[in-house]
Amino acid sequence: MIKVVLVDDHELVRTGFRMILQQQADISVVGEAGSAEEGLRLIRKHAPDVALVDVHMPGMSGIELTERASRLKAPTRIVIVTVVDDARFPKRLLDAGALGYLTKGCSADELLLAVRQVSGGRRYLAPSVAQQLALATLDGEGSPFDALSSRELEVAMMLVRGKPLTVIGEQLSLSPKTVSTYKQRLMEKLHVDHIIGLAHLMTVHGLIDQPGQTTGG
């Protein structure tokens, strides 16, 4: 039996995934969490085979959860589930320890395939993501965003979505001053002077489709 934990701050997403997974004789959903912090507690408690994890959540991000779960040496294998147009940084997530990467627009069959494949210790990447990684490897060029920490990358994503520092601070449980420090640091690393330049750089490197995108995920 494959034990699965669902970690997503959108209840509707968790409900949809649970309905698909629980129809399978070989899969059991042993817990659900609306935050990464609670998700990490469930991973510690249940030691599931697979955790389906959203990237953008209030407080700790899905990237941080992945990194912490890896440090725990937990048997749980992480499958990141995200909105493809909002957060295309599979390399960072794979480096953090994720074994799978799915989009929320995936089919039920693809979800089940990913869960079963990852539970067996094999990597699963959505076809579009696999293609992007292959092309990036062929180009032989690293992304300037590789220089950012997980938190800096997340702050950058929220900045280009038009969120004020106070709102970012609330969602990530950080003070506005700390968010401002992250903002200054990431813009120095990327050699950009303003949000428009940041959005343009993200568009060029495929993290967003167009500046000012407001899709959540």
Domains and CATH numbers, the chain: 2-138 (3.40.50.2300), 144-204 (1.10.10.10)
The widest CA-to-CA distance across the chain, in whole angstroms, is 54
3-state secondary structure (DSSP) of residue 2: strand
**In this predicted model, which residue has the larger pLDDT, 212 or 132?**
132
Nearest alpha carbon to residue 145 among 206, 97, 194, 195:
206
Between the alpha carbon of residue 11 and those of residues 7, 60, 207, the distances in Å are 10, 17, 25
pLDDT at 71 over 70: yes
pLDDT at 19 over 90: yes
What one-character-per-residue DSSP string does 67-132 give? HHHHHTT-SPEEEEEE-TTT---HHHHHHHT--EEEETT--HHHHHHHHHHHHTT--EE-HHHHHH
Type of residue numbered 110: E
pLDDT, tens digit, for every residue of 80-130? 887 754 344 566 677 778 899 888 888 999 999 999 999 999 989 887 666
pLDDT at 60 over 70: yes
3-state secondary structure (DSSP) of residue 64: helix
**In this predicted model, which residue has the larger pLDDT, 210 or 159?**
159
pLDDT at 131 over 80: no
pLDDT at 70: 85
Predicted TM-score of the model (pTM)? 0.68
